[in-house]
Each structure stands twice: as C-alpha cells, then as structure tokens.
Amino acid sequence: MNYDWRWSVFLQPTLGGAMNYAELLLRGAGITVVTAVLAWLIALSLGTLIGVLRTVPVRSLNAIARSYVEIFRNIPLLLQLFLWYFVLPELLPESAGNWLKALPHGSFYVAFIGLGFYTASRVAEQIRSGIQSLPKGQTNAGLALGMSLPQVYRHVLVPRAYVTMLPTLTSEGLAIMKNTSVALTIGLAELTAQARAMQEYSFHVFEAFSAATVMYFALNVVIVQFARLIERRTAHLA
C-alpha cells in the first residue's frame, strides 16, 4: 500500500497552532465521554420512569409511555438530532427560538439531550422487560406487607430489574458512547469529528483514524470493566 505512514504527525501543531494533533484527539475523546455520561444520566432516569409507567396498572400511563417509546425508537437518531437542532427553534415562539439559535455550545446541549431521549426509549423497553420478568409474587409479597405500589416499585421491582438487565444495560451504555459520534453532523467536536478534522488538515488519514479507533477500544474496555465491577458487587441481589 503506497501510503506515507508518519506517526510523528501527532506531535505536529494543528491549523490553529494552539495544540498538537494528539491533544486535539484527546479533547475530542473528552467531549465524547462527557456527552455520553450526561446522556446516560438522562437515559437512565427518564428510561426507568417510562419503563415503570409501561408496567403500572393504569391504562392512560401505559399509553403515554408506549407512545414515547414508539416515537423515539422509530425515528433515526441522526434525524432526531436534526429535529432538536434545526426544527425545534423554528417551532417555538420567535424569542425563544432566537435564544436557542444563539446559544453558545448549542450542539453540545442538543447532542446529550437528544441522545438521552433516544436512549431513554431503549432503556425503557429493557426496564419494562426486566420488571415483567420478575415473578408476580414479588409485587404481591410487597403489597401484602403493607407497602403501597410506588413503594413496591422503588424498593423491590426496579432494583431487581436493574440487576437482571445489567448485561443489556451495559450494551446500551456502550451504544450511547458510540452514538455520540452521530453528533458530529450537528457540529459537536467529539472524537470522530476531531479525527476527521485531523485528516482534513494534515492529510494523514489512517494515522488519525487509527488513533480514534484505539481510543474507542479503550473507552469500550473501561465501560465493560466498570459494568463487571457493578455485576460483582450486585451478584448477591440476583
């Protein structure tokens, strides 16, 4: 392959001169991590709420939760980000829309909020199946002990659903980390975007993408190890 490999390109300064390419990629990785963590916080909390709402014996709440899941699951993530970023400011009243469009770091907020809402629909499905896989005796025992239904959910069902669904939730965590790359289309300077930037400025395509690949592997390993730690700590609850 007649390609001029030069790994020293990482120590060269970028176009702005402020940092070298290695630091550019590391900053991108940092943005990836922060976006993924914030999105995961939204996804976990909102997803648990929606998942629980799908299992409570109230038909209207079931319907609301089901609509949420169907809407956010059937539209591609990229299009959802476009809707948040381009369409939402136009649909709001004039002043609110203008404020949104002028917001600094707008793509960052859109990225983690949009990604959080999207992943919440997937987490909701997993929490729902986790709760529904628990024997009915759990709920009945809680109610017989005098707990109210919300208390049964809070102390018995949801924690056990988390432990049961830990492997699937782990792969959702990995997916969220990978999906941050979709936000490069709305201008978020995350890892893949910075690798593209490095490729465009320095023309060293494969060095840039190799570094990004290695960093994604590293993040992958970190998340998997973290999940294994949680698995070991909660094994007694399964």
Partner 1 sequence: MNDFDWDVVTRSLGFVLLDGLGFTVVLTLTATVGGILLGIVLALMRQSKRFYISKPAQIYIDVARALPLILVIFWIYFLLPYLAQWVIGSPRPVAVGARTSAFVTFTLFEAAYFAEIIRSGMRGIRKGQYDAGYSLGLTYPQVMGSVVLPQAFRNILPVLATQMIIMFQDSSLVYVLSLTDLLGAASKVAQRDGRLVEMYLFATLIYFSISFAASQLVQRLQARVATPR
Please select the residue that binds partner 1; options are 7, 86, 99, 226, rule is CB under 8 A. 86
Shortest Cβ distance from residue 60 to partner 1 (Å)? 21
* Angle at the Cα of 30 from the Cα atoms of 25 and 32, rounded to 5 degrees: 95
User: Residue 187 phi/psi, 5° resolution?
Assistant: 100, 10
Binding flag, residue 164, partner 1 (CB under 8 A): no
Contact status, residue 121 vs residue 129, Cβ threshold 8 Å: no
Task: Choose one: 77-85, 127-135, 148-156, 161-169; the region binding partner 1 (CB under 8 A).
Answer: 77-85
Any contact of residue 26 with partner 1 (CB under 8 A)? no
**Which of residues 213, 227, 231, 234 is near partner 1 by CB under 8 A?**
213
- 1 binds partner 1, rule: CB under 8 A: yes
**70 binds partner 1, rule: CB under 8 A:** yes
**In the complex, minimum distance from the CB of residue 73 to partner 1, in angstroms, rounded to a whole number:** 8
Q: Give 8: exposed, middle or buried? Use CB within 10 Å, 0-12, 13-18, 19+.
A: exposed
The one among 82, 109, 138, 201 contacting partner 1 by CB under 8 A: 82
Nearer to partner 1, 75 or 147 (CB): 75
As measured in angstroms, the least distance from the Cβ of 163 to partner 1 is 22
Binding of partner 1 by 196 (CB under 8 A): yes
Q: Which residues bind partner 1 (CB under 8 A)?
A: 1-3, 70-71, 73-79, 82-83, 86-87, 90-91, 93, 174, 178-182, 184-185, 192, 195-196, 199, 205-206, 209, 212-213, 216-217, 220
